[in-house]
Amino acid sequence: MGRISNVKLFTKYIDLYQTISFPITLHKDAHHDFSKQNKSIKPELLEAYVTPHIGTNDDEYTEYIPCFQLKAEKNFIAIVLWRAALLEYEYYVMTYNNAGDLIHQQVIAGMKSDGEHIITRIAIIDDDTNIHMVEGAMNDKNETDYDPENTREYTFEITPDGFISLEH
């Protein structure tokens, strides 16, 4: 058997991402629903379309779950992917051209800890173009030590050329 063409390989990758209804909220447990509904990403697809861009520090414990297709345009496709590693998990928006080349990527939700502080991000996606993210930090040792003054809000928009721009 010959090698699968790049177009067919990219199509297999994109087919892992279901279309969904908006609005949707991405929070700490949302990936469970996606892991039940969607097939896992095969290693050759991860190597071709994901890990060269966001997986440079991966180890044998790193996990990926395809979440959903955010937007499909004539010039690009946008997907949401969940990545979990030690002391962090993140939801990414990744945009690709029709040949499967990455255009842009952006973390839009998740949790990250440096051992002292926890940064938590929640995303609310109104439609296939606008993403609102709220980010807050707290002390890792005291979960009640949350300061709302340190909460930040961001709005991202996916532009017609597939870039994810910060609107805030």
**What are the structure tokens assigned to 11, written together?**
């199509």
Q: Is residue 1 part of a domain?
A: no
Q: Which residue has the tokens 């955010």?
A: 70
- Three-class SS state of 103: strand
If one counts the domains in the chain, the total is: 1
Structure confidence at residue 2 (pLDDT): 47
Mean pLDDT of 155-163: 94
Q: Is residue 94 part of a domain?
A: yes
17-53 confidence digits (pLDDT tens): 999 999 999 988 888 888 888 889 999 999 999 999 9
- Three-class SS state of 97: coil
Q: Is residue 101 part of a domain?
A: yes
Give the β-pairing of 164-166 and 102-113: unpaired
* Structural domain containing residue 71: 6-166
82-110 confidence digits (pLDDT tens): 999 988 999 999 999 999 999 999 999 99
- Three-class SS state of 94: strand
Residue 124 near residue 25 (C-beta atoms within 8 A)? yes
